[in-house]
Chains A and B, each alone.
Chain A
Amino acid sequence: NAGVTQTPKFRILKIGQSMTLQCTQDMNHNYMYWYRQDPGMGLKLIYYSVGAGITDKGEVPNGYNVSRSTTEDFPLRLELAAPSQTSVYFCASSYGGVDTNTGELFFGEGSRLTVL
């Protein structure tokens, strides 16, 4: 099984550019998440989705947008890139919510984004 697949793995953007990070999962999971990881800060939730057509903000949503048109895909869009968005981004999925015994997160390998 491929699990959770993210593309691209690396990207350099100029300030003000836009881009989309792609995320696909083949486990038929209902829940999908986008996190960013900064050194010494752990992971912070950007957006999440509990099913197709449903998305909600996490802890740090400013500067990002998401959509969930299918169960499999959960792209993250950066509209006007800023240096503060330099980070490693992880997509994750789970069968159930994080407060259930099926809430184990399955992570992609990450996308390293640099904004110059």
Chain B
Amino acid sequence: AQSVTQPDIHITVSEGASLELRCNYSYGATPYLFWYVQSPGQGLQLLLKYFSGDTLVQGIKGFEAEFKRSQSSFNLRKPSVHWSDAAEYFCAVGNYGQNFVFGPGTRLSVLP
């Protein structure tokens, strides 16, 4: 069965520091991979997505993610975190049957 794991439940970084959020997936075919962000009290917003081609994808708000097939990973990165990046981040795999499999989420806190 498809699954997505996000090993870090909560991460705290200082403003201006770099960030990497981990995502590992289990999927039998070529995955369609996504990162969504959820600000408090809001719905989820797409940050970036990978379907094929270049394994390093750029998203909104200065985020990027790298697909590594050998490691079944799709980690999210940002070189310099801003206080407004504090939110919850979800990794997801889009599979057939019209369903996303979402990870449990990683909550990011940013220290001033």
Contact = CB atoms under 8 A, between A and B. Distances in A.
Interface residues of B, number: 24
A41 B104 contact: yes
B88 to A, nearest CB: 10
Nearest to A98: B94
Contact of B99 (A40, A42, A48): A48
B28 interface: no
Interface in A86-116: 90, 92, 97-99, 101, 103-105, 107-110
Interface stretch (B13-21, B44-52, B73-81): B44-52
B99 A45 contact: yes
Contacts of B95: 98-99
Interface string A31-42: 101000000111
Interface of A: 4, 31, 33, 40-45, 48, 50, 56, 58-59, 90, 92, 97-99, 101, 103-105, 107-110
